[in-house]
Amino acid sequence: MRRSIKSRLVINFMLIIVITVVILQVVLSNAIRSYYYKNVEDILTSQIEYSTEFHSKYFSNYTLDDIIMGDIDLFWKQTTAQVQLLSLEGELLMDSLGVVYDDPIATSDVLKAMNLEKGVWVGNVHYDDNPVMAVSMPLRNNEEPIGILRYITSLEAINSTVNRLIILLISVGLAVVVVSGVVSIFLADSIVKPLLEVTKVAEKMADGQLNVRGSIRLKDEIGKLSNTLNYMAEELQKKEQIKNDFISSISHELRTPLTSIKGWAMTLQGDENIDYELLEDGLKIIENESDRLSRMVEDLLDFSKFISGRITLEKAEFSVRDMLIMLGKQYMPRARDNDIDLIVNMSDEVNIFLGDENRIKQLLINLLDNAIKFTPPGGKIWMEAYIKDKNLILSVKDTGIGIPEEDLPYVKDKFYKGKGSKSHSGIGLSICEEIATLSNGSLVIESEVNKGTIVKAILPMKEDQI
């Protein structure tokens, strides 16, 4: 069973908090214990140093036997701790509590004192149930060591105090864990609730409810995700509307020539005494409308191949100059019929180019078709070719109605038709864009309403063609 994001977040938060609290508990407990033990050590050290210095000043001529036999109390008069006198071999000579050891004492503090250093030891002894701390220092007569003085104190009271503090720390730690757990649940909710809302919105969008919008206004990754989903829905709505407009438009465009063809076919079929001139006009209209249908179907088939990636360019060297001259001759009569002046210009360096001649010709034909459609009588169209920055520039410029600024970013989109467009499918510029892209180039469109449009196909050239 999958765990929810909320449970994973809470568990992770709690894991971090518990680990942190445990580490702090261990560190603080050790610090408290060390602090209290250090205080005991300092007190015992101060007392034993005072006693050894006092002995060196006033009893330096006394031997250990003299001290023991004389029952001199200078060593235990200064402390409440247990006092022991040991020989340099660790044998217990005297104990203020009357404790007896059968063997020499060999704890770390005694061993250090044998080496004329202060020694400290914490451990357990046979005559007490609680741990003890012992501090040992050498006794000297005229700088010569004669024995070992050892102070011992029980750690029962200290451990009791330390344990109470540790219990208090544990209680505080548990309280912190509980409070942090509650806070982590609220924190997890603050993250999960927006995610759940985004998920619900995404599910509705996936179900086709593109009018749904996320209402999250957070300025973080979740807010960005919500805004992205909203933007995606808006774009999908636009694409859907464009697609519907395209289907409606193409249906109308297909119906118009079909209606014309069917009408003339019925007319010619039903009139037995038809006039030859009327027959010729009817067949001409049927032929023209059939050509129009063929062009639309070919555009759709080409476009389908482009967007499915089934188009591959057949590159070969060809003369750009010859291609533009032929296109000029092909479109000159049509331009003249529309009272449009078609001008073909080429720079001297334009000649051979490596590319797919048929596709590049298709690109220019689409651009020329659009220029003629959108240029009013008396206008001009320039078809030009020149070399710039190691690129072949093929440009079609007109003095037509232009493209509104709000439509300009979308005119190369699939199925897009601007307001008042005369395009029958809305895919002509999309095909041009695909051809330029497949040729490793780009299509650039500049336009101004009521002044005209210029479309440039920028195609890279090989080094030996420049």
Rounded to whole angstroms, the Cα distance separating 60 from 57 reads 6
Give yes or no: residues 28 and 130 share one domain: yes
Strands of 208-314 (E only): list them.
Answer: none
β-partners of residue 448 are 452
For residue 290, being part of any structural domain is answered with: yes
Tell which of 119, 144, 159 closes a domain.
159
Give yes or no: residues 338 and 253 share one domain: no
**CATH number of the structural domain spanning residue 118:** 3.30.450.20
Report the pLDDT value the prediction gives residue 419, as an integer from 0 to 100. 55
Q: Is 279 exposed, middle or buried, given 0-12, 13-18 or 19+ CB atoms closer than 10 A?
A: middle
Report the pLDDT value the prediction gives residue 312, as an integer from 0 to 100. 74
Give yes or no: residues 297 and 325 share one domain: no
Rounded to whole angstroms, the Cα distance separating 219 from 332 reads 59
Torsion of CA 129, 105, 118, 95, to 10 degrees: 70
Give yes or no: residues 20 and 145 share one domain: yes
pLDDT in 10s for each residue of the chain, 466 residues: 456 777 888 888 889 999 999 999 999 999 999 999 999 999 999 998 888 888 777 776 777 777 776 555 666 677 888 999 899 899 998 888 888 888 999 999 999 999 999 999 999 998 888 999 999 999 888 778 888 999 999 999 999 999 999 999 999 999 998 998 888 888 888 777 877 788 888 888 888 787 888 776 777 777 788 788 888 888 887 777 767 766 766 665 667 677 777 777 777 776 666 777 777 777 887 887 787 777 777 767 766 666 666 667 888 999 999 999 998 998 898 899 899 999 999 999 998 999 989 889 889 988 998 899 899 999 999 999 999 988 999 999 999 998 888 888 878 776 666 655 555 456 778 788 888 988 899 999 999 898 999 999 999 987 655 5
For residue 256, being part of any structural domain is answered with: yes
Report the pLDDT value the prediction gives residue 1, as an integer from 0 to 100. 44
Cα dihedral 289, 419, 243, 411 sign: positive
* Chain centroid offset of residue 53 CA: 72
For residue 180, being part of any structural domain is answered with: no
The amino acid at residue 33 is R
**CATH number of the structural domain spanning residue 432:** 3.30.565.10
Give yes or no: residues 225 and 124 share one domain: no
Rounded to whole angstroms, the Cα distance separating 198 from 218 reads 12
For residue 261, being part of any structural domain is answered with: yes
DSSP helix/strand/coil, 252:
helix
For residue 33, being part of any structural domain is answered with: yes
β-partners of residue 152 are 82, 134
**CATH number of the structural domain spanning residue 231:** 1.10.287.130
Spatial CB neighbours of 16, under 8 Å, sequence gap ≥ 6: none
Tell which of 275, 290, 308 closes a domain.
308
371, 429 in Cβ contact below 8 A? no
Give yes or no: residues 18 and 139 share one domain: yes
Strands of 232-340 (E only): list them.
Answer: 316-319
pTM: 0.50
Give yes or no: residues 328 and 284 share one domain: no
Query: For the chain, what is the domain count?
Result: 3
Rounded to whole angstroms, the Cα distance separating 200 from 106 reads 76
Give yes or no: residues 257 and 117 share one domain: no
Segments forming the whole domain that contains residue 322: 316-465
H helices within 374-427, ranges in order?
none
For residue 436, being part of any structural domain is answered with: yes
Report the pLDDT value the prediction gives residue 359, as an integer from 0 to 100. 87
For residue 402, being part of any structural domain is answered with: yes
Rounded to whole angstroms, the Cα distance separating 93 from 324 reads 124
Give yes or no: residues 330 and 273 share one domain: no
For residue 199, being part of any structural domain is answered with: no
444, 408 in Cβ contact below 8 A? no
Give yes or no: residues 87 and 141 share one domain: yes
42, 224 in Cβ contact below 8 A? no
Give yes or no: residues 334 and 399 share one domain: yes
Q: Which long-range contacts (CB under 8 A, 24 or more apart) does 124-133 make?
A: 125/152, 127/97, 127/99, 128/154, 130/154, 130/155, 130/156, 130/159, 131/155, 131/156, 131/159, 132/82, 133/37, 133/40, 133/41, 133/44
Give yes or no: residues 120 and 61 share one domain: yes
Tell which of 287, 308, 329 closes a domain.
308
